[in-house]
Amino acid sequence: MSKIAALRPSVPMEWQINGLTLAGLSWGEPSGRPLLALHGWLDNAASFSQLAPLLTDFHVVALDLTGHGQSAHRSTDASYQIWDDLPEILGIVKALGWDTFDLVGHSRGAIIATLLASVYPERVRHLVLLDAVTPQPIEESAFPVQMRKALEDKPRLLIRANKVFACLEEAVASRTRNGLSETAAKLLVERNLRACSGGMTWTTDPRLHGASAVKLTGAQIRAVLEALDMPTLLMLASETADQASEYVAFAQRSIDDLVVQTIKGEHHFHMESGVTEVEQYMKRFLLETKKTESAL
């Protein structure tokens, strides 16, 4: 553990929002500048446990999004569309007493952050996106096929059990096989396991593996991006930046105030060796960049 991390340990947090118990972690004093952090698919608030201690000017609050980590699962009649998280996020922001705040998201959390910032641009001071911007658009003609996928996935996933691991090390190994370092994988896994018969299993809701019933079209995504009037920083993993060139070009055409930066590493670069570089770019961006006059 670094000296900064030792001085800024995480503090567990919990909220009751819309009948759900939601959990998270925070770093720094509540008097610090508010920064909300949203993790990626199948991750949890520990996704920011390497980065948040370095952001010493900020009160960082990272959520376990619903169905992830230590947060509750949705009821059996509910879904996990990307916009389903927005009411709970807004409830937590209200509980924190934040009128305005900076917003950072990784992967699926970046997509959710983009949606939230587009709907409430007056509340988001700066938007930081880690290796994602929006979902892949879908053609309007594909709507029936997409809906059918979701309808067929739901009953199957309602009865699906998560994999059981004999020990923590086995669970960690299941994440390192997907490219995470052992240190990063252990941080995520330890917050995402519960004891069960035969060992331990994920706390994650299996329904998160299901198809979305509705996906945004290209025109809808363009409208989302064009509504972003705050300074926006997009950081991309160097290992996959070439694959992202098409949607990055689309984002650059659609977002007026966008900075794009490539960070050495893979998809979880904010938890790996690139974390210091991420912190340096983020601090400079958040503390020195302001909205342009036309956006005020």
pLDDT, one tens digit per residue, over 86-124 is 999 999 999 999 999 999 999 999 999 999 999 999 999
Q: Classify each residue of 87-123 as buried b or exposed e, where b means 16 or more C-beta atoms within 10 Å of its C-beta.
A: ebbbbbbeebebeebbbbbbbbbbbbbbbbbbeeeeb
Which residue from 90, 75, 115, 66 is spatially nearest to 214, judged by alpha carbons?
Answer: 115
Query: In terms of Cα–Cα distance, which of 196, 200, 127 is closest to 165?
Result: 200
Backbone angles phi, psi at 291, to 5 degrees: -60, 145
Q: In which band, very low, low, confident or very high, does the pLDDT at 210 lie, cut at 50, 70 and 90? A: very high
For residues 29-39, average pLDDT? 97
Q: For the chain, what is the radius of gyration of the CA atoms?
A: 19
In the annotation, is 107 catalytic?
yes
Over 90: is that where the pLDDT of 220 sits?
A: yes
Structure-token pair, residue 225? 């991006």
Give me the pLDDT at residue 296, please: 46
Rounded distance between C-alpha atoms, residue 36 and residue 129, angstroms: 12
pTM of the predicted model as reported, rounded to 2 decimal places: 0.95
pLDDT score, position 173: 96
User: Residue 112: CB partners within 8 Å, gap ≥ 6?
Assistant: 38, 65, 82, 83, 85, 86, 89, 105
Banded model confidence at residue 289, pLDDT cuts 50, 70, 90? confident
Q: Say what the pLDDT of residue 176 is.
A: 94
pLDDT of 229 > 60? The answer is yes
pLDDT for 290: 83
Q: What is the pLDDT of residue 86?
A: 98
Detail the DSSP E strand segments found in 148-220: 164-165, 193-196, 199-202
Q: Where are the domains of the chain?
A: 3-137+218-295
Residues 187/271, Cβ–Cβ less than 8 Å? yes
Q: What is the mean pLDDT of residues 44-61?
A: 97
Q: Which CATH superfamily is domain 3-137+218-295 in?
A: Alpha/Beta hydrolase fold, catalytic domain (3.40.50.1820)
Calculate mean pLDDT across residues 255-263. 95
> Distance (Å, rounded) from C-alpha 283 to C-alpha 261?
14
Among 49, 107, 118, 254, the active-site one is 107
CA pair distance 184, 71, nearest whole angstrom = 20
**pLDDT tens digit sequence for 127-182:** 999 999 999 999 999 999 999 999 999 999 999 999 999 999 999 999 999 889 99
Contact 121, 151 (CB under 8 A): no
Tokens 């299993």 belong to 201
